[in-house]
Amino acid sequence: MGEGVLMAGQGGSGAGGQASLLADAGLLLGPDGLMMAGVPLAQIAREVGTPAYVYNAETIRRQFRALEAAFAAIPHRVCYAVKANSNLAVLRLMHDLGAGADLVSAGEMRRALAAGFAAQSLVFSGVGKTVDELDETVSAGIGQVNVESLEELKLLGAVAARLDRITSVGIRVNPDVTTDTHPYISTSHGGIKFGVPHDQVRAAADYIRDHPYLRLTAVAMHLGSQLLDPAPYAEALGKLVALVKALRAAGVSTLESLDIGGGLGIRYQPEAGPGMDPSALAAVVGPLAAEAGLPVTMEPGRFLVGSAGVLLTEVLYRKHSGGRDFVIVDAAMNDLLRPSLYKAHHEIVEVVPAGRPAGPVDVVGPICETGDFLALERILPAVEPGERLAALCAGAYGFAMSSNYNTRGRAAEVIVDGGRWAVVRPRESVDSLFASETADPFATLSDNG
């Protein structure tokens, strides 16, 4: 196959499916192996080293536009969930596309402001906001704070009054709806920490109505992540719309939006369908939003950036042990936690296919835990030390969840756009990891008196 032709399977877990995953990522097979927006991934790996995250700006734009197109007939705004990938270059891209942003910490607000977002375009979600975070975000003039408990609401009211800032509030409701996703990322059934329970929403709304510094502008939900079926959105939104009607009947006249959260899933498995169809979602959301007479706010993270990123890694060693074949690579669970934490599937492909026969291997990292793997029992072509692999669909919750475990510097991040590429976060130096630590604290204290 020549340049511009999608690569078929490499003896992996499904030839046709793998081609779809590569297309989702905006990857093509050229004479130098996998190409992202005209740039060979092998060149990036050579020049930047591995492990390295590489993001395709054009794929992010494509996803954003697909969502915008699907929701074109519905008054709406997209607030990108910063937690999925908070690199400033990604945030700037989202800002330039016209997105707002959804935050889960004051730290994320600082990033968003640094990337150019107006404070008014930001929504602050999260179950455990601290008083310092409320202070910082309210003083910045944040667009909306989604509260998750009555106690938080009271604290927010006190902060807004002290700072003399009228603050827009969304009540994040727990709609008690079950979703079909990994239990760790399902966030909308009863008995979990998220959202204000249905029977406390009225009390929250009354509190806001009676508070001179709070305005109830949204009713919000977030069902969970990696959802592929719009049905739970319909069910939960039905409950939210009933709530909106009840609130209006009780005299609430300040509502400005229905916040449906994020959660739109993508394709990870080679043989899987193409992820959440945004038009199918729009088809269930549109009529309900119209019934409520409110514009929609969306908080997608993964849908916008997940497919757009790959994690490049180099093969260090091979080993046969206990009847299994291992490929030991230089990326580990500290770089990409999802396989270890959720048993998540990330398709692994050769950066430059060598055409060797395939067989089952475990792809594992250097970290001292048996749970440190990128893939188990994966059919991969025989690879040699020094060759490079790419873990696909790593743009969301990849770098963002990485850590320094085992005193490993976090990976470099690179963005590719229209034939150009740039490092947008250099690899962390090992020295920087312990530069602020003190080996002998008490000696230091006595030195200073």
Q: Which residues are catalytic, by number?
A: 368
| Side chain identity, residue 98 | G
**Does 33 sit near ligand LLP (CB under 6 A)?**
no
**Does 144 sit near ligand LLP (CB under 6 A)?**
no
**Does 226 sit near ligand LLP (CB under 6 A)?**
yes
**Does 338 sit near ligand LLP (CB under 6 A)?**
yes
**Does 263 sit near ligand LLP (CB under 6 A)?**
yes
Locate 165 and state its tokens.
């800032």
Question: Minimum distance from CB of 146 to ligand LLP (Å)?
Answer: 7
**Does 345 sit near ligand LLP (CB under 6 A)?**
no
Of the candidates 299, 314, 362, 413, which one interacts with ligand LLP according to CB under 6 A? 299
CA–CA gap between residue 67 and residue 150 (Å, rounded):
33
Residue 409 CA, chain-centre distance (Å), reads: 21
**Does 84 sit near ligand LLP (CB under 6 A)?**
yes
- Using CB under 6 A as the binding rule, the residues of this chain from 63 to 82 that contact ligand LLP are 81
**Does 125 sit near ligand LLP (CB under 6 A)?**
yes
CB-based burial of residue 182 (10 Å sphere; 0-12 exposed, 13-18 middle, 19+ buried)?
middle
**Does 170 sit near ligand LLP (CB under 6 A)?**
no
Residue 332's φ and ψ, nearest 5 degrees, are -135, -175
CA–CA gap between residue 52 and residue 333 (Å, rounded):
14
CA–CA gap between residue 84 and residue 80 (Å, rounded):
9
**Does 11 sit near ligand LLP (CB under 6 A)?**
no
Residue 415's φ and ψ, nearest 5 degrees, are -120, 140
Of the candidates 179, 225, 313, 340, which one interacts with ligand LLP according to CB under 6 A? 225
**Does 301 sit near ligand LLP (CB under 6 A)?**
yes
Nearer to ligand LLP, 264 or 285 (CB): 264
Locate 256 and state its tokens.
């400005």
If you search the block for the tokens 């990326």, which residue do you land on?
331
CA–CA gap between residue 348 and residue 321 (Å, rounded):
21
Of the candidates 24, 102, 335, 413, which one interacts with ligand LLP according to CB under 6 A? 102
Nearer to ligand LLP, 50 or 226 (CB): 226
Nearest Cα neighbor of 303 from 231, 391, 390, 395 is: 395
Q: Which residues bind ligand LLP (CB under 6 A)?
A: 81, 83-84, 102, 125, 185, 222, 225-226, 261-264, 299-303, 338, 396-397, 401
